């Protein structure tokens, strides 16, 4: 049985998979993913009469997304994989979002709002054979310039699409298709499917080295510029 974990954004979820969906749960958590993930995982496993030891592999959404939220999912996934000695595979959150709409002839542009100023954007084509082509590398774009990055004829999906129309009023609605975001369930199921396919093909990640896909550095890693401080006489005497 495979466990899919997605804590990329405030809309998080878990899903149990074995050649199909066994059970799933999702929730909205603004600040405390740690508390919710552990409680929801315990509930999901126990209510479906499983044990933690029944988990044989983990598919993890690796971002882009919220810095703190992603770290929660990574910590839990890595801990379980190391403790249970089971394989782990990391899947792009944007790819999982796009995979939900596979089989269309349109280019798929999944997005995730990172904050008021920036959006994570992907650009894929996924044909009816589920063959994935990455048209452009995943990137961060300014919110007010999003329209410039959406190719004509594309399908736009992901969290925040309900607010898109007011932001891209300089793009004709006939030139793109906006898919209204409903719930994290579709992304969760796609995460499980992609993870299962990766593992079946023998591709997995090292829990020790797998890192979140931030696409940008967290602010905490940027040191503030050093400031010169004039010492008084008493301070100099203490040095």
Question: What is the model's pLDDT at position 105?
Answer: 80
Question: What is the model's pLDDT at position 220?
Answer: 44
Question: What is the model's pLDDT at position 167?
Answer: 64
Question: What is the model's pLDDT at position 128?
Answer: 85
Question: What is the model's pLDDT at position 148?
Answer: 84
Question: What is the model's pLDDT at position 230?
Answer: 39
Beta bridge partners of 4: 15, 59
Domain boundaries, the chain: 2-92+184-217, 95-178
pTM: predicted TM-score of the whole model, two decimal places: 0.86
Please name the fold of domain 95-178. Answer: Nucleotidyltransferase; domain 5 (3.30.420)
Please give the sequence-ordered ranges of beta strands (E in DSSP) within the chain, or none if there are none: 2-6, 11-17, 21-28, 57-61, 88-91, 108-113, 118-126, 132-142, 155-158, 177-178
CATH 3.40.50.2300 fits 2-92+184-217, yes or no: no
Question: What is the model's pLDDT at position 57?
Answer: 98
> Three-state DSSP class for 136?
strand
Q: Two tokens at 81?
A: 């994989």
Calpha distance 234→63 (Å, rounded)? 51
* Per-residue pLDDT tens listing for the chain (239 residues): 999 999 999 889 999 999 999 999 999 887 678 888 999 999 999 999 999 999 999 999 999 999 989 999 999 999 999 999 999 999 999 999 999 999 888 899 999 988 888 999 999 999 888 899 999 999 999 988 888 888 888 999 998 776 676 666 555 555 788 888 777 899 999 999 999 999 999 999 999 999 999 987 545 444 444 444 434 443 333 33
Q: Two tokens at 184?
A: 């994290």
Question: What is the model's pLDDT at position 228?
Answer: 42
Under a CB-based contact definition with an 8 Å cutoff, are residues 101 and 156 in contact? Answer: no
Question: What is the model's pLDDT at position 134?
Answer: 94
Question: What is the model's pLDDT at position 199?
Answer: 96
Same CATH fold, 95-178 and 2-92+184-217?
yes
């Amino acid at each position: 049985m495979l466990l899919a974990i997605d804590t990329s954004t405030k809309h998080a979820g878990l899903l149990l998979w074995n050649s199909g969906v066994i059970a799933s749960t999702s929730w909205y958590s603004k600040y405390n993913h740690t508390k919710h993930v552990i409680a929801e995982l315990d509930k999901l496993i126990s209510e479906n009469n499983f044990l933690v030891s029944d988990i044989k592999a983990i598919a993890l959404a690796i971002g882009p997304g919220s810095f703190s939220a992603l770290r929660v999912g990574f910590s839990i996934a890595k801990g379980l994989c190391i403790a249970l000695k089971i394989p782990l595979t990391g899947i792009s959150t944007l790819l999982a979002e796009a995979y939900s709409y596979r089989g269309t002839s349109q280019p798929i542009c999944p997005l995730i709002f990172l904050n008021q100023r920036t959006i994570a954007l992907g650009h894929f084509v996924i044909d009816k054979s589920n063959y994935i082509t990455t048209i452009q590398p995943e990137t961060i774009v300014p919110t007010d310039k999003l329209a410039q990055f959406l190719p004509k004829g594309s399908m736009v999906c992901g969290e925040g699409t309900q607010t898109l129309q007011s932001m891209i009023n300089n793009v004709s609605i006939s030139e793109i298709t906006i898919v209204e975001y409903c719930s994290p369930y579709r992304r969760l199921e796609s995460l499980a499917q992609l993870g299962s396919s990766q593992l079946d093909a023998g591709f997995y990640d090292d829990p020790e080295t797998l890192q979140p896909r931030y696409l940008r550095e967290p602010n905490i890693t940027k040191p503030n510029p050093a400031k010169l401080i004039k010492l008084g006489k008493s301070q100099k005497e203490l040095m």
